[in-house]
Amino acid sequence: MIAFVIRRLLQSVLVMLTVAFISFALFRYVGDPVLIMLGQDFTQAQYDTLVSELGLDQPFYLQFAKFIVAALQGEFGISYRLARPVAQLIMERLPATLELSLVAAILALCIGVPMGVYTGLHRESWLSRFFLTISLIGVSLPTFLIGILLILIFAVQFGVLPSFGRGDVVKFGTWSSGFLTTSGLKALVLPAVTLSLFQLTLIMRLVRSEMLEVLRTDYIKFARARGLTNRAVHFGHALKNTLVPVITITGLQIGGIIAFAIVTETVFQWPGMGLLFIQSVNNADVPVMAAYLLLVGFFFVAINLVVDLLYYVVDPRLRVDRGAASGH
Amino acid sequence: MASRSALGRLLDSDVFHSFRGNPVVVVSAAITAIFVLAAVFAPFVTPYNPYDLAGLDLNDAFTPPAWTAEGSARFLLGTDDQGRDVLSTIVFGARVSLLVGFCAVLFAMTVGITLGLVSGYVGGAVESVIMRVADVQLTFPAILIALLIDGLARTALPRDLHSEIALYVVIFAIGIANWPQFARTVRGSTLVEKNKEYVQAARVIGLHPGLIMMRHVLPNVLGPVLVIATLSLGFAILAEATLSFLGVGVPPTRPSLGTLIRVGNDFLFSGEWWMTIFPGAALIILVLAVNLLGDWLRDALNPKLR
């Protein structure tokens, strides 16, 4: 167990270092930060002074080390576009993205799992077929089109929900929340539904296929032979055993939500990190891009690590398998 | 080996019978074929060439679809803000979307198959490194990887150079985002094939490993690759549309379906819905058809489900 945890931790650190390296290379070598800071008129002497002040004449590995130390302290430099510290910009945008992602994840789970169980248990019913057809369309519909369609129906046609922004927010220190005002909640509906739809279909299909698989196993047959009620077999035995892969995939899907939040935030002009990132890409705002890359990389590595460790804790069979098959 | 007998074998195969017995799949295949043909012969099948500046008339701008009250019989699906025929822009847009989709999948396939074959056949440290990289990359959503590569290229390359090669950058970004699936599948099949007698025989007579991989192992691992390629095509088209919608995809001079939707989206609130809805519908129908084909192919080629 300890060996596994250590190996997994080392791997995470390695991935994080790679991400940090890409981020650093971007920050340091894309565009000349000195030229950007000096503006139009400067002498060679001014240029050289600033280079040595910023430490850009130091060897490469020292610069990289300094970059990592600064990043660990939350120092990501100044945004070229907005002329404000990147860390501050990101902290302002973080609550919007996290609240949106959280609501979308809850929606996807609370609707996706029951739909999956139902379609798994009643394979032939028309409602299952209907769900499956919908889910196929859901997979084929790009997130941004879902958003546009929802805007067209609910904002343009009926005018019941706002089509952009977060509505009114309440401030708690550095955290701004849209959960506590009516306009904030209303503004949340369309983006959250848009963002959750893809994950919802994915979770539903996963739960369905896992249910079908488990229902074929011997212990289910045995449970039925013992005369247990359908309810006990389906929920006590079958559903319980599908949960391990579902937890894993759902955990990994949180990452997917962060990625698709970029698209959703662009459609709805939701003032989160994703929108900030896209605006930075379009304006070559390198420090923000580098910081976003690092932050998202960190989220992913952390989520994966937690999911892997959870998997290991939840499923006792793995402890034996991993030991025997560690050569793989 | 004659092509006629190959065709005869195809027409008599299980796969073909399962194809004929499934109307949804036949329709999907037909839709995909229509899209591909229309895209290839776009200049010949569209009523107008939307990017021929001489043929544009700004007086035609914002004409609604033909069946509405203000519509004109000349423009079946209406016109956009520049007076371009929406139907024609959709066909030309599908051309770019399909081009990027096919090239990206081809690129991902080439990289994935090569790395998968090598890691499966050679094994050892090479295999560990390749598969670790694939594992790590798979933990990040493909669309995010494509977006990052595209965004980095946009920032790193000089503006003129970038707009010139933007199409290739998008193909590269989506292709790279997609290679691990191919590599994993090919590696798995290669591990199985490697120990079969025909491969061992080829090795015993002293053939070069590269030759064994290409001539003997490769043809036997292509089945699953075909399935993944079809499913990836749907993903690649969607990814391109998403990137273009975000404004970081193909250049505006060669609009894809995603670009059309992005441009049309600006006019959604002023009531010109046809500029968004029709390209959007075309995109959905195309991707749905490709995905249905891929789903069917996966089931048809999977002996476990027969």
Q: Which two tokens stand for residue A6?
A: 């250590």
Q: In chain B, what is the straight-line distance between the N-terminal and C-terminal CA atoms, in Å?
A: 28
| Chain A (149-168) residues lying within 8 Å, Cβ to Cβ, of chain B | 149, 151-152, 156, 163
| ipTM for the assembly | 0.79
Rounded Cα distance between B269 and A152, Å, is 8
Between chains, do A282 and B248 touch, taking CB under 8 Å as contact? yes
pLDDT score at A325: 42
pLDDT score at A103: 92
pLDDT score at A316: 67
How far apart, in Å, are the Cα atoms of A80 and each of A25, A38, A230, A285, B50?
A: 17, 12, 63, 5, 38
pLDDT score at A170: 80
For residue A120, give how far its alpha carbon lies from the nearest alpha carbon of chain B (Å): 17
pTM above 0.90, yes or no: no
Residue of chain A nearest B290, judged by CA positions = A140
Cβ contacts of B284 on chain A, cutoff 8 Å: 137, 140-142, 145
pLDDT score at B304: 57
Between chains, do B261 and A252 touch, taking CB under 8 Å as contact? no
Choice between B199 and B19, residue whose per-residue pLDDT is larger: B199
Instruction: Using CB atoms, pick whichever of B139, B247, B248 lies closest to residue A300.
Output: B139
CATH number of A87-283: 1.10.3720.10
The tens digit of pLDDT for each residue in B67-96 reads: 777 767 677 777 777 777 888 888 888 999
pLDDT score at A324: 44
Rounded Cα distance between A73 and A76, Å, is 9
- Does B269 contact A at CB distance below 8 Å? yes
- Does B273 contact A at CB distance below 8 Å? yes
Between chains, do A140 and B284 touch, taking CB under 8 Å as contact? yes
Mutation for B interface: A21, A24, A144, most B CBs within 10 A: A144
pLDDT score at A305: 84
For residue A287, give how far its alpha carbon lies from the nearest alpha carbon of chain B (Å): 11
Percent of chain B beyond pLDDT 70? 90
pLDDT at B110 over 90: yes
- Does A314 contact B at CB distance below 8 Å? no
pLDDT score at A72: 82
pLDDT score at B306: 47
Rounded Cα distance between A226 and A248, Å, is 31
Q: How confident is the model at residue B115 (pLDDT cuts 50, 70, 90)?
A: very high
pLDDT score at B3: 52
- Does B128 contact A at CB distance below 8 Å? no
Instruction: Using CB atoms, pick whichever of A26, A136, A259 lies closest to residue B141.
Output: A259
pLDDT score at B303: 61
Between chains, do A281 and B245 touch, taking CB under 8 Å as contact? no
The tens digit of pLDDT for each residue in B213-236 reads: 888 888 888 888 888 898 899 889
Cβ contacts of A262 on chain B, cutoff 8 Å: 144, 147, 246
For residue B238, give how far its alpha carbon lies from the nearest alpha carbon of chain A (Å): 6
Mutation for B interface: A281, A286, A293, A304, most B CBs within 10 A: A281
User: In chain A, where are the structural domains located?
Assistant: 20-72, 87-283
- Would you say the C-alpha torsion A202, B110, B139, A67 has a positive or negative sign? negative
Mutation for A interface: B246, B260, B296, most A CBs within 10 A: B246
Residue in B42, B179, B158, B44 with CA at minimum distance from that of residue B108: B179
Mutation for A interface: B230, B245, B284, most A CBs within 10 A: B245
Mean pLDDT by runs of 10 across the 328 residues of chain A is 82 87 79 68 78 74 82 80 84 89 90 89 86 80 87 85 81 78 86 89 87 84 84 80 77 78 90 89 82 86 82 67 43
Cβ contacts of A140 on chain B, cutoff 8 Å: 234, 238, 284, 287-288, 291
Between chains, do B141 and A143 touch, taking CB under 8 Å as contact? no
For residues B148-174, average pLDDT: 82
pLDDT at B46 over 80: no
Cβ contacts of B241 on chain A, cutoff 8 Å: 142, 144
Average of per-residue pLDDT values in chain B? 83
For residues B261-268, average pLDDT: 83
- Would you say the C-alpha torsion B119, B120, B125, B129 has a positive or negative sign? positive
Q: Are B51 and B85 in contact (CB under 8 A)?
A: no
SS3 call for B79? strand
pLDDT score at B99: 93
pLDDT at B1 over 50: no
Percent of chain B beyond pLDDT 90? 17
pLDDT score at A322: 46
Between chains, do A26 and B152 touch, taking CB under 8 Å as contact? yes
Cβ contacts of A300 on chain B, cutoff 8 Å: 139-140
Between chains, do B246 and A263 touch, taking CB under 8 Å as contact? yes
Question: What's the per-residue H, E or C state across chain A?
Answer: CHHHHHHHHHHHHHHHHHHHHHHHHHHHHCCCHHHHHHCCCCCHHHHHHHHHHCCCCCCHHHHHHHHHHHHHCCCCCECCCCCCEHHHHHHHHHHHHHHHHHHHHHHHHHHHHHHHHHHHHCCCCHHHHHHHHHHHHHHHCCHHHHHHHHHHHHHHHCCCCCCCCCCCCEEECCEEECCCCHHHHHHHHHHHHHHHHHHHHHHHHHHHHHHHHHHCCHHHHHHHHCCCCHHHHHHHHHHHHHHHHHHHHHHHHHHHHHHHHHHHHHHHCCCCHHHHHHHHHHCCCHHHHHHHHHHHHHHHHHHHHHHHHHHHHHCHHHHHHHHHCCCC
pLDDT score at A218: 85
